[in-house]
Chains A and B, each alone.
Chain A
């Protein structure tokens, strides 16, 4: 076994044996599925002026809306992977056993990413399936020009893959910020504030330019543009550029975290 894999194995053992990990992974899938199912169930064509008037409803996005809640569990998982080591001083032990810090951080990232991408895929595909089952019951049917959710549809496929990638990038962001602040409460508040607050502030801004700018430049609102399958012209930012904005945030947080990890004493 190469040296790098030993680092990965070490991180895997640490993460696997902590009780919160399993709970958080379960919460990721549960939140994603639960809220997605609720959203698909709450919307019906009866609210539209005509049954076909609901054709503009972005059903894939609706079915995948559970990530708004699911991502919180991902943030906690990623931040805890770093901050608990500082809270309990395990980090000194880790670095004593394995002094190459770049590899330690990369191994941590690999393990967290693998877990998040795996559970994320599960939650996202499950949400799509739930939507596929629930939506026809709300009269979103072919006759009303809303085809059933299907991965064969290219925008739906993009939304699905993009949402999984979104969760992965959120994990990177959580790890990076966790490494910068090294304190659980501070890391969680920072990341959750970065993600959720712009969406809450935006409706308060009546000035169109300000609002659009906030939605375009914030990690969550820009990143989740990847879920849009309809009305792409009216979005503040396109799907892939939006995910790019999130990637820029996550990448910067990761780089700053890695640099500080390398520079500071544990």
Chain B
């Protein structure tokens, strides 16, 4: 008589992870509430993004070029042709684009025609005229010798390392330059900080200036036709802007033994049309709302098993509870990431025509392209944000086991910063946006804005930390207590 060999019907636990994944995927796909959550998330994200685009208009492209002409000028008249030379000894680095150099200007009022050559701390020597884009010269900063030469309406700029061998930087034609122009030294420094003022319960922000100081020597004005030596005068061209503390950032100058010390703040040129809206982030703004459905999905994916007692069956089939949690996390994360990625792409495509119709078009707002790494990061980052948020919700749901408590807690954490932040001081609001799970939304930034609380990847890291803590607690809870 032979005894039949016993073959266990159940495969051992180690082999079963694939089956576990399949089981969780079946649950996600076939349970009505989780399927609804995904559909709702997609619908809400697209709908709200399009609504936001429809409700946002701009006329920035119609307002024309935005000229700024603000600097401190030490000048004397120059009639007819001639040249002005100076040796820039030092330049204070208030920002990368502070300028110290020479200028020939048709008048002392802002907007008067001019040509200038200047040195910057970060971009070397630049020649600029008529508020047009500047031309680059040598890449080194101060000390440097600079010279401007006028021949009729044509102005040529030179730079030199030693004051003897000169190199031409560029030349410009200033058509409306009068016969008698003002020439001399100028110093300016674009805004580098933000001035935050709270007034009437609202926080207002504006640019703040910090004057830069530069020293010059060997200053020489050489008219072609002989003229008597003129005295130097100085003034701020344009109305000085505010410093961080609100006092005006006025310029000044002094001279001793042939060395000029000049201080000034401002900017010269044509600013790009003044829009600083992050249109990619605006296109993806529906995520703020769609994430609610994702939070509910993450929570319910676990708590519904507890509510219906299904969790006992699940654990009977797969007694190793950590693996169940891992399978759930993998299925949920991948599903939400995929859905999030397609929704983000769709939102970008669907909102763009609306934005264009409402004035958000080139030149101020060119069409975003996925070839731009920031745009790509925003799209993938949106999907990552949603996926990690879902994992955070899954963790909280597993710890609390009740949908009501878990949904409330997660929504409170992700939503409240953007709601109570609105009437708190700016720094408190930014602090909330840095520390709560909502920090992950920083992945959507594609422009440097003053209200960016945290860098994109750092923000996602904050969210990941929340998710890791929640899932860690969930694992501990699953091992410790019976369902």
Interface residues of A (CB under 8 A from B): 20, 35, 39, 42-44, 47-49, 53-54, 56-58, 61-62, 65, 68-69, 72-73, 75-76, 79-80, 83, 87, 183-186, 188-189, 192-193, 196-197, 199-201, 203-207, 210-211, 214, 230-231
> 0/1 per residue, B154-185, Cβ < 8 Å to A?
00000000000000000000000000000000
- Which residue of chain A is the closest to B418 with respect to CB atoms? A200
Contact partner, B411, options A72, A199, A207, A231, Cβ 8 Å: A72
A selection of 19 A-B contacts at a CB cut-off of 8 Å is: A42-B425, A47-B425, A48-B198, A56-B199, A69-B416, A69-B420, A76-B405, A185-B296, A188-B407, A188-B408, A189-B292, A192-B411, A196-B415, A196-B419, A201-B52, A206-B56, A206-B277, A207-B55, A231-B200
| Complex: A214 Cα to B51 Cα, angstroms | 11
| Complex: A54 Cα to B200 Cα, angstroms | 6
- Which residue of chain A is the closest to B245 with respect to CB atoms? A49
* B282 CB–A CB distance under 8 Å: yes
| Complex: A228 Cα to B299 Cα, angstroms | 36
Question: Which residues does chain B contribute within 8 Å of A87, judged by CB atoms?
Answer: 307
Find out whether the CB atom of B285 lies under 8 angstroms from the CB atom of A204: yes
Question: Which residues does chain A contribute within 8 Å of B140, judged by CB atoms?
Answer: none
Find out whether the CB atom of B246 lies under 8 angstroms from the CB atom of A49: yes
Contact partner, B201, options A192, A201, A204, A231, Cβ 8 Å: A231
Nearest chain A CB to B359's CB is how many angstroms away?
Answer: 10
- Which residue of chain A is the closest to B412 with respect to CB atoms? A72
CB interface residues, B 43-57, toward A, < 8 Å: 48, 51-52, 54-57
| Complex: A192 Cα to B410 Cα, angstroms | 12
Find out whether the CB atom of B33 lies under 8 angstroms from the CB atom of A205: no
Contact partner, A57, options B58, B200, B307, B405, Cβ 8 Å: B200
Find out whether the CB atom of A47 lies under 8 angstroms from the CB atom of B198: yes
Find out whether the CB atom of A39 lies under 8 angstroms from the CB atom of B198: no
Find out whether the CB atom of B58 lies under 8 angstroms from the CB atom of A206: yes
Question: Which residues does chain A contribute within 8 Å of B200, judged by CB atoms?
Answer: 56-57, 230-231
| Complex: A58 Cα to B201 Cα, angstroms | 6
| Complex: A221 Cα to B55 Cα, angstroms | 18
- Which residue of chain A is the closest to B428 with respect to CB atoms? A42
- Which residue of chain B is the closest to A31 with respect to CB atoms? B412
CB interface residues, B 415-466, toward A, < 8 Å: 415-416, 418-420, 422-425, 428
Question: Which residues does chain B contribute within 8 Å of A188, judged by CB atoms?
Answer: 403-404, 407-408, 411
Question: Which residues does chain A contribute within 8 Å of B428, judged by CB atoms?
Answer: 42
Interface centre among B58, B277, B285, B412 (most CB of A within 10 A): B412
Question: Which residues does chain B contribute within 8 Å of A43, judged by CB atoms?
Answer: 198, 424-425
Nearest chain A CB to B340's CB is how many angstroms away?
Answer: 18
Question: Which residues does chain B contribute within 8 Å of A61, judged by CB atoms?
Answer: 201, 423
Contact partner, A205, options B52, B246, B299, B300, Cβ 8 Å: B52
Find out whether the CB atom of A207 lies under 8 angstroms from the CB atom of B57: yes
Nearest chain B CB to A174's CB is how many angstroms away?
Answer: 11
Question: Which residues does chain A contribute within 8 Å of B412, judged by CB atoms?
Answer: 69, 72
Contact partner, A39, options B55, B277, B299, B423, Cβ 8 Å: B423
Find out whether the CB atom of A204 lies under 8 angstroms from the CB atom of B52: yes
With A57-B200, A62-B423, A185-B300 already in contact, the answer to whether A204 and B282 are too (CB < 8 A) is yes
Question: Which residues does chain B contribute within 8 Å of A210, judged by CB atoms?
Answer: 54-55
* B127 CB–A CB distance under 8 Å: no
Find out whether the CB atom of A57 lies under 8 angstroms from the CB atom of B198: yes
Contact partner, B404, options A39, A48, A79, A205, Cβ 8 Å: A79
**Top-10 shortest CB links A-B:** A56-B200, A205-B55, A210-B55, A47-B198, A206-B56, A204-B52, A185-B403, A42-B428, A207-B55, A184-B404
| Complex: A80 Cα to B289 Cα, angstroms | 23
* B293 CB–A CB distance under 8 Å: yes
| Complex: A42 Cα to B48 Cα, angstroms | 32
- Which residue of chain B is the closest to A47 with respect to CB atoms? B198
| Complex: A75 Cα to B405 Cα, angstroms | 11
| Complex: A39 Cα to B432 Cα, angstroms | 12
Q: A43-B424, A206-B55, A210-B54 are in contact. List 12 more A-B contacts (CB 8 A).
A: A49-B246, A54-B199, A57-B198, A68-B419, A73-B408, A76-B404, A183-B33, A188-B404, A189-B296, A192-B407, A206-B277, A230-B200
With A184-B403, A192-B411, A204-B52 already in contact, the answer to whether A57 and B201 are too (CB < 8 A) is yes
Find out whether the CB atom of B424 lies under 8 angstroms from the CB atom of A201: no
Nearest chain B CB to A125's CB is how many angstroms away?
Answer: 20
| Complex: A79 Cα to B407 Cα, angstroms | 13
| Complex: A184 Cα to B33 Cα, angstroms | 12
Question: Which residues does chain A contribute within 8 Å of B51, judged by CB atoms?
Answer: 201
* B235 CB–A CB distance under 8 Å: no
Question: Which residues does chain A contribute within 8 Å of B282, judged by CB atoms?
Answer: 204
Contact partner, A206, options B57, B404, B407, B415, Cβ 8 Å: B57
> 0/1 per residue, B190-218, Cβ < 8 Å to A?
00000011111101000000000000000
Contact partner, B292, options A35, A72, A76, A193, Cβ 8 Å: A193
| Complex: A75 Cα to B428 Cα, angstroms | 26
Question: Which residues does chain A contribute within 8 Å of B419, judged by CB atoms?
Answer: 68, 196, 199-200
With A69-B416, A192-B411, A192-B415 already in contact, the answer to whether A48 and B424 are too (CB < 8 A) is no
Question: Which residues does chain A contribute within 8 Å of B289, judged by CB atoms?
Answer: 193, 197, 200-201
Question: Which residues does chain A contribute within 8 Å of B52, judged by CB atoms?
Answer: 201, 204-205
Nearest chain A CB to B426's CB is how many angstroms away?
Answer: 8
* B23 CB–A CB distance under 8 Å: no
Question: Which residues does chain A contribute within 8 Å of B58, judged by CB atoms?
Answer: 206
| Complex: A189 Cα to B411 Cα, angstroms | 9
Find out whether the CB atom of B48 lies under 8 angstroms from the CB atom of A201: yes
CB interface residues, B 295-312, toward A, < 8 Å: 296, 299-300, 303, 307
With A62-B423, A192-B411 already in contact, the answer to whether A207 and B56 are too (CB < 8 A) is yes
| Complex: A187 Cα to B99 Cα, angstroms | 61
Nearest chain B CB to A224's CB is how many angstroms away?
Answer: 10
Find out whether the CB atom of B404 lies under 8 angstroms from the CB atom of A80: yes
- Which residue of chain B is the closest to A183 with respect to CB atoms? B33
Find out whether the CB atom of B420 lies under 8 angstroms from the CB atom of A200: no
Question: Which residues does chain A contribute within 8 Å of B307, judged by CB atoms?
Answer: 87
- Which residue of chain A is the closest to B359 with respect to CB atoms? A206
Question: Which residues does chain A contribute within 8 Å of B345, judged by CB atoms?
Answer: none
Question: Which residues does chain A contribute within 8 Å of B415, judged by CB atoms?
Answer: 192, 196, 200
Find out whether the CB atom of B420 lies under 8 angstroms from the CB atom of A65: yes
Question: Which residues does chain A contribute within 8 Å of B292, judged by CB atoms?
Answer: 189, 192-193, 197
Nearest chain B CB to A230's CB is how many angstroms away?
Answer: 7
Nearest chain B CB to A221's CB is how many angstroms away?
Answer: 10
- Which residue of chain A is the closest to B53 with respect to CB atoms? A204
Question: Which residues does chain A contribute within 8 Å of B285, judged by CB atoms?
Answer: 201, 204
Find out whether the CB atom of A68 lies under 8 angstroms from the CB atom of B416: yes
* B288 CB–A CB distance under 8 Å: yes
